Chains A and B, each alone.
Chain A
Amino acid sequence: MTTAPDKRPAFEPPAQLLKPTGYDPDMKRPASTVAGVMLVLLRVIAGVVWIGSIALEWERYVREIDATYEDVVSTPQIAETTLLVAVIAIGVSLVIDAVLAFFVLGGHNWARVIIMAIAAISITASFLQWWDDGLEITIGTTLLTLGLDILILLALSSRSAAAYARRKERR
């Protein structure tokens, strides 16, 4: 001891909570990472099922969109294009989701952060609608997807998942 140590504060530093676990490239993949990836894949499967259900009743959905936007200029063609664009956009996002999940499983931190950010944004959006506009979140509406988002965030933000994603970082 060459210098006097600093006095301890009355509380521990919150940074302690996620103290970097250090360089450990051989770390075994923790259960939390696997659980997070499984939940993301579940979300992807749910999305695929949803797209499938639309494809099966394509005509009905087109008519519904057409009817909803009766006042605006709407033809069956425009309605069909709108639906097609929406479905393709969702399909692409599902593919991206699955690819990100694959990278999380391999232990890439950037993929973990992106998935967590998307989940956090979607949770915040639901919360604001629920809080301000009294949106009903029940099992019949969005409770399941919201629950999936929150569980994904819980799993991937856990200390073991963070340590695994940062196992190659030298500090």
Chain B
Amino acid sequence: MTIQKRSRRYSIGLVIDWFFFVFAGLAAVWLAYLSLTETFHVGWWGVAFALAFWVLLAYLVLPRLHRILTTIYVPDYFIGRARTSDGLLGDPVNLAFLGGADQIHTAMTEAKWTKAEPVTLGSSWRIVTSTLTRRSYDEAPVSPLFLFGRQQDFAYQQEVDGNPAQRHHVRFWKCPDGWLLPGGSRVDWLAAGTFDTSVGLSLFTLQITHRIDADTDIERDHILQTLTAADPRITIEVLKDFSTGYHARNGGGDSIRTDGDLPIADVRLVAAVTR
């Protein structure tokens, strides 16, 4: 049965979807061009058209072009990097965990980390209001990043002095069953921890995003330090020089530096509290 289903990879419906997906991307390029040329014809209204051009380009045109091109060109197997929803390379995977989801939840909560809410209309609105009123929102959602073709299973964060622009955060992905790290080690979870330093315009995607601290090792070691300080039963084993890239850029164009080590945190001795 499964083999027969596999053979029907290119259905008519899929071809139609594909056509409209690419067609819409091209049409959006044209629309961006039209609104750009219009900018120079309408005097002061040109400012509005320039703004419309930027929104179109940064949030509709480039993401769709990235989506189409990265799907084809970026390898879809594990290369130690998470990917953004547009398919660009995102934060580096710099942590691994052994243990169950409940044990990780317990360990992170005891280490004073807060679970991030999923991105919904309500939580997005709360980000806007908390930013405007400068009120703290420590369960603020984190943007989706993808590993194994899936969005993170959950994410944890720590606020910095009630400043919504800065925060520690780490995303977790469950590894597929029977999956081995390059080199053959077996881990249950992979995680990517980075520190948001400020909110700014990314010159890479032209979108407004969080900039991350280039030295991702500091954040990685901070996560491990808080975990082991809260529960001494958590043990760390380090895979030396695991990383394939010691300096790179993430999906927002921020540079990344690392010593290339991948620590594996063993939380299997933590008593799971089912919540």
- Interface residues of chain A, those whose CB is within 8 Å of chain B, are 8, 11-18, 20, 31, 109, 113, 116, 120, 123, 127, 137-139, 143, 146-147, 149-151, 153-154, 156-159, 162, 166, 169, 171
State whether A157 and B30 are in contact (beta carbons under 8 Å apart), knowing that A17-B68, A139-B42, A171-B5 are contacts in the complex.
no
> Given that A138-B41, A153-B24, A154-B24 are known contacts, is A12 also in contact with B17, CB under 8 Å in the complex?
no
A137 to B33, CA, bound (A): 11
8 A Cβ contacts from B1-58 to A: 5, 8-11, 13-14, 16-18, 20-21, 23-25, 27-28, 30-31, 34-35, 38, 41-42, 45, 49
Residues of B within 8 A of A17 (CB): 18, 21, 67-68, 71-72
Contact A147 B67 (CB under 8 A): no
Q: Is B238 in the interface zone, CB < 8 Å from A?
A: no
A15 to B211, CA, bound (A): 33
Within 8 A of A (CB), among B59-117: 60, 64, 67-68, 71-77
- CA distance in complex: A17, B13 (Å): 13
Beyond contacts A11-B72, A113-B20, A139-B38: 10 other A-B pairs, Cβ-Cβ < 8 A, are: A116-B20, A139-B45, A147-B31, A149-B27, A154-B28, A154-B60, A154-B64, A162-B21, A166-B13, A171-B11
Chain A residues with CB under 8 A of B71: 12, 14, 16-17
Contact partners of A14 in chain B: CB under 8 A: 18, 68, 71-72
Residues of chain B lying within 8 A (CB to CB) of residue A15? 9-10, 14, 18
- The smallest C-beta distance from B211 to any residue of chain A, in angstroms, reads 26
Whether B21 lies near A31 (C-beta < 8 A) is no
Residue of B38, B71, B75, B121 with most chain A CB atoms under a 10 A cut-off: B71
Q: List 24 A-B contacts (CB under 8 A).
A: A8-B77, A12-B74, A13-B9, A15-B14, A15-B18, A17-B72, A18-B21, A20-B11, A109-B13, A116-B20, A120-B20, A127-B27, A138-B41, A143-B35, A150-B27, A150-B30, A151-B60, A154-B60, A156-B20, A157-B17, A157-B20, A158-B21, A162-B17, A171-B8
CB distance from A121 to the nearest CB of B (A): 11
Q: Does B28 lie within 8 Å of A20, measured CB to CB?
A: no
Residues of chain B having any CB pair with chain A under 8 Å: 5, 8-11, 13-14, 16-18, 20-21, 23-25, 27-28, 30-31, 34-35, 38, 41-42, 45, 49, 60, 64, 67-68, 71-77, 121
Number of residue pairs A-B, CB distance < 8 angstroms: 92
Expressed in whole angstroms, the minimum distance between the Cβ of A79 and any Cβ of chain B is: 34
Contact yes or no, B34 A143, CB < 8 A:
yes
The answer to whether A120 and B23 touch across the interface, beta carbons within 8 angstroms, is yes
The 6 A-B pairs of least Cβ separation, nearest first, read A157-B20, A153-B24, A157-B24, A17-B71, A150-B27, A154-B24
Closest beta carbon of chain A to B183's beta carbon, Å: 19
State in angstroms the CA–CA spacing of A154 and B61 once bound together: 9
B121 CB contacts on chain A under 8 angstroms: 31
B residues in contact with A151, CB < 8 Å: 60
Query: Which residue of chain A has its CB nearest to the CB of B70?
Result: A12
Q: Give which listed residue, B8, B18, B31, B68, contacts A146 with CB less than 8 A.
A: B31
A157–B4 Cα gap in the complex (Å)?
Answer: 28
CB closest chain-A residue, reference B41:
A138
Contact status A18-B30, CB under 8 Å: no
Q: Which residues of A contact B34 (CB under 8 A)?
A: 137, 143, 146
A34 CB to closest chain B CB (Å) equals 10
Residues of A contacting B42 in the complex (Cβ-Cβ under 8 angstroms):
139
Assembled-state Cα–Cα distance A150/B26 (Å): 10
CB distance from B206 to the nearest CB of A (A): 17
Question: Is A12 touching B24 in the complex (CB atoms < 8 A)?
Answer: no
Asked whether, in the complex, the Cβ of B27 is within 8 Å of the Cβ of A153, the reply is: yes
- Please give, as numbers and ranges, the residues of chain A lying within 8 Å of B49 by CB-CB distance: 139
A-side contacts of B10, CB under 8 Å: 15
